[in-house]
A = this chain, B = another copy of it.
Amino acid sequence: MSETTGLAAPAAEPAAPDFSGWTCPAPLRDQPRVVMGHGGGGALSSELVEHIFAPAFGGELLAGLSDSAALTLGGTRLAFSTDSFVVRPLFFPGGSIGDLAVNGTVNDLAMSGARAAYLSCGFILEEGVEVTLVSRVAEALGAAARTAGVEVATGDTKVVEAGRGDGIYLNTAGIGLIPEGVDIRPQRAVPGDVVIVSGEIGVHGVAVMSVRDGLEFGVEVESDCAALGGLVEAMLAVTPDLHVLRDPTRGGLAAALNEIAVAARAGVVLEEKAVPVPPPVANACAVLGLDPMYVANEGKLVAFVPREHAEAVLAAMREHPLGAQAAVIGECVEAHPGMVVARTGLGGTRVVDLPVGEQLPRIC
């Protein structure tokens, strides 16, 4: 046991309860119409991909469940990813839809170990929106791109009638090089891996909620929205053999860990009290009846790291400004494959399930 990192030897399984009869979540009852939860990054989103998009599109890459696709083109290994952004409001404490559009896609690429090189950018504007607002969003996007070291290479603009949009929707896609020897994807989590989170969770979601129409509340947090390419490079400098990286956006840490557990057919055990939740987030969640484990982040990552490299990777993360609060929060286990279990502060355990939808829609 290390005093500084909290790393333990492979732990004994939690004594109770018996999960032997448990299987991966079954498909939810078919919904005849799209509900907000289909965009929430939880079980309903997964169902759309598994039951509609993947069969319709065919192909292997989409079924990989990664934040980005790893592909080879002209002998070059590339990561390729896309996200649309419908956050409301467009500006929030610590960021804007323009920052999200850059950092969301840059981070999806970083989760393959790739440094983002080029972005595309598609605007869907609602008729009547002020041109100065479009300009402010574009400037935020450009500034975020320069900070992340990525170039906006190509773009497109469409306009829809007033009442058919909501000001500004954005899509970005991004490409970046995957370094030699790097193979980071959810399927690579194996029992024994140490689970590390790069910092305090729940900050982005609470920051956006705090300024949402009809929900305004005073809170001293700003979104953690940031580009994680540099942090990932620092981690890869320790070892190219990181197993899994994931940025816990929609659906929060709970959704990210569940997706990894399912993809890898492995279990995850968390130490609940080791998960860093800043007091303002804890307080806001207590008031709103939310669980911080399910609240979105936009500048954090969770890593599954081989035990022998974990201490060095954690130290490298803590050296980086975006990983100063990094912490070991659990481990990957053989038991209960596909399931995430948290050891509570009271000595018990609870299942941390995949959320069905999301606690608050349009958080990114």
Binding site for B on A (CB under 8 A): 30-40, 45, 48-49, 52-53, 56-59, 61-62, 66, 68-69, 71, 73-78, 80-86, 117-118, 120-132, 134-135, 138-139, 141-142, 145-146, 151-161, 163-166, 169, 171, 173, 175-177, 361-362
Contact = CB atoms under 8 A, between A and B. Distances in A.
A161 B120 CA distance: 26
Given A52-B134, A52-B135, A166-B160, A69 B118 contact: yes
Given A80-B118, A82-B122, A142-B56, A39 B158 contact: yes
Given A33-B128, A74-B177, 16 more contacts: A33-B131, A34-B130, A34-B134, A52-B131, A52-B134, A57-B151, A58-B146, A73-B175, A75-B76, A84-B124, A84-B156, A124-B124, A124-B169, A160-B166, A164-B166, A175-B175
Contacts of A58: 142, 145-146, 151-152
Contact of A84 (B34, B59, B171): B171
A35 B76 contact: no
A112 to B, nearest CB: 10
Contacts of A141: 56-57
Nearest to A70: B153
Given A30-B131, A74-B177, A175-B175, A80 B39 contact: no
A176 B80 CA distance: 12
Contacts of A37: 159
Given A76-B76, A164-B166, A175-B73, A154 B30 contact: no
Contact of A173 (B34, B57, B173): B173
A159 to B, nearest CB: 3
A296 to B, nearest CB: 13
A48 B138 CA distance: 10
Nearest to A177: B74
Closest 5 CB pairs of A and B: A39-B159, A173-B173, A82-B120, A74-B76, A56-B138
Contacts of A125: 34, 38-39
